[in-house]
Amino acid sequence: MAMPYVSKLAFAQSPDRPFMPIPALVNGSDGPVSLKMQTGLWSFDGKIKTPTWGLSQDYMGPVVRTRRGAELALHYENTLAEAVSIHGHGLHVTGELDGGPQRAIRPGTSWSPILPIVQEAATLWYHSHTHKRTGPHVYNGLAGMIVIDDDNSDSLPLPRRYGIDDLPFIVQDKDFNQDGTLLYNKVGLGRFYAEHMTVNGIIQPRVEVPKGLVRLRLLNGSNGRFFNFTFTDTRVFHVIAGDGGFLEEPVEVTTLFVAPGERYELLVDFSDGLPATLRSVQAERGEGTSPAFNPIQGEQTICTFEVNPRIAPDLDVRVPPRLNDIAWLDPKEAHITRHFTMATINRKMVINGRMMDMARIDHRVQKGAVEIWDLDGDVHNFHAHGCSFQVLSINGKTPPAHMKCWKDTVITDAKASFIVRFDHTASDAFPYMFHCHLLEHEDMGMMGQFTVEA
């Protein structure tokens, strides 16, 4: 069968790219955070207006800042024409507060969870987790970042001036119809790749930075695209944190493979004053981060960093030698190993042969017990709710150094294994999800449910 011809909008390439916008910052300590799901108009290229969705803004939502020990009050209000579930990705909260598919917010209604923040400093995110609609919802803009601070993050000599040298950095790919509307066209078995790379909602933006050290809070907020980031001048940068918190020590890299849903915090040194272009390039095999078939669809320019001498660098920041103490879980203490096989059977996306069924609980986990979860199958990207875990292996090998931190999302690359302990409960009425975080696979049923019982 011939593929339907889709006429895509092309954008004029101009050296005067728009600057990367900095999302509004809302501090949870100032009172309940209002997140109104609404329609909007947003320009991804600085010119053409595109109908989008956002949370209290035209496209995506504000960065919500909170602190370990705080209670974060959110007020989600749905002014859209369809039901939406909103999940706090990476949050250690009960199933009741997790925002999974069962917690649908109908049009014209709201949900006001109060989230006890008990976990360490990390960069998380919130996004639509609506039954069978997560892909189009996130693509339209129902996503935003959460930043958790704690005493340790306060004490480290890291860049912390929001929007100046501490930058939220949400990378997504987008396509457009000729009329400027967003084009959401899945190919093959639900794979979605678009041509235009955006950061914080702008196609290939210019990013102004001080002549010094800059911290990027990198989120791959794409539906299905993997990135293998590198600078064209192959400059070294440091990974300081992963999904659920800081690494113990910074890890020096020149490339970084990032799957959808993953976060990494990076330190990039611009003290040479030179501009730098960030690209995504083909991944090489053999480092535990490169999948059996290469999911990087071509080489992409992401953005250009330009040093602005009028932005004063913070002279007190540096790459600290030590970042965190991680309590490593011991595989000898694991009392159960669960197996998850992610596969396509008869054009159905399944885990252990089964598609998502909201009426079925797939696993019952005991609160406080250490478990090993073994993943295998094709190249997918596994996420579990209600926890952070520690990756034991990827494709039989020790995970790369930058994954030696708390994580909640991991590429399976044929095989992966992690160790985990669930410290919060999830009931039959509001279970946690485990699923492929390629959003189209999730929407097609590559997901299951588990309870955590005291």
Interacting residue ranges for Cu ion, rule: CB under 5 A: 380, 436, 438, 441
Nearer residue to Cu ion within complex by CB, 121 or 379: 379
CA distance 321 to 59: 38
Q: Closest by alpha carbon to 172, among 138, 122, 147, 216?
A: 138
Nearer residue to Cu ion within complex by CB, 127 or 380: 380
Q: Closest by alpha carbon to 91, among 114, 110, 112?
A: 114
* Interstrand relation of 213-220 and 202-203 (parallel, antiparallel or unpaired): unpaired
CB of 336: closest distance to Cu ion in angstroms? 24
The DSSP code sequence of 94-133 is -HHHH--TTS-B-TT-EE--EEE--S-SEEEEEEE--TTT
Phi/psi region, residue 324 (left: phi>0; alpha: psi -120 to 50; beta: rest), is beta
Q: Are 85 and 130 in contact (CB under 8 A)?
A: yes
Nearer residue to Cu ion within complex by CB, 64 or 439: 439
Nearer residue to Cu ion within complex by CB, 300 or 412: 412
CA distance 259 to 271: 29
Nearer residue to Cu ion within complex by CB, 214 or 411: 411
CB of 356: closest distance to Cu ion in angstroms? 12
CA distance 226 to 282: 10
Q: Closest by alpha carbon to 218, among 166, 275, 284, 272?
A: 166
Nearer residue to Cu ion within complex by CB, 226 or 246: 226
CA distances from 67 to 1, 71, 161 (A): 54, 8, 16
Residues in contact with 387: Cβ distance below 8 Å, sequence separation at least 6, in sequence order = 92, 408, 420, 421, 422, 423
* Interstrand relation of 409-411 and 381-384 (parallel, antiparallel or unpaired): antiparallel
CA distances from 228 to 290, 291, 303 (A): 9, 12, 14
CB of 451: closest distance to Cu ion in angstroms? 23
CB of 189: closest distance to Cu ion in angstroms? 9
Nearer residue to Cu ion within complex by CB, 146 or 411: 411
**Which two three-digit tokens encode residue 165?**
């040298």
CB of 446: closest distance to Cu ion in angstroms? 5
In sequence order, the β-bridge partners of residue 198 are: 172, 203
CB of 410: closest distance to Cu ion in angstroms? 12
Q: Are 145 and 124 in contact (CB under 8 A)?
A: yes
Nearer residue to Cu ion within complex by CB, 205 or 445: 445
Nearer residue to Cu ion within complex by CB, 158 or 436: 436
Nearer residue to Cu ion within complex by CB, 226 or 237: 226
Q: Are 133 and 104 in contact (CB under 8 A)?
A: no
CA distance 324 to 251: 13
**DSSP structural state of residue 403:** G
CB of 187: closest distance to Cu ion in angstroms? 14
In sequence order, the β-bridge partners of residue 318 are: none
**DSSP structural state of residue 152:** H
CB of 222: closest distance to Cu ion in angstroms? 13
**Which two three-digit tokens encode residue 261?**
């849903």
CB of 79: closest distance to Cu ion in angstroms? 31
CB of 361: closest distance to Cu ion in angstroms? 22
Q: Are 229 and 279 in contact (CB under 8 A)?
A: yes
Nearer residue to Cu ion within complex by CB, 98 or 378: 378
CB of 207: closest distance to Cu ion in angstroms? 31
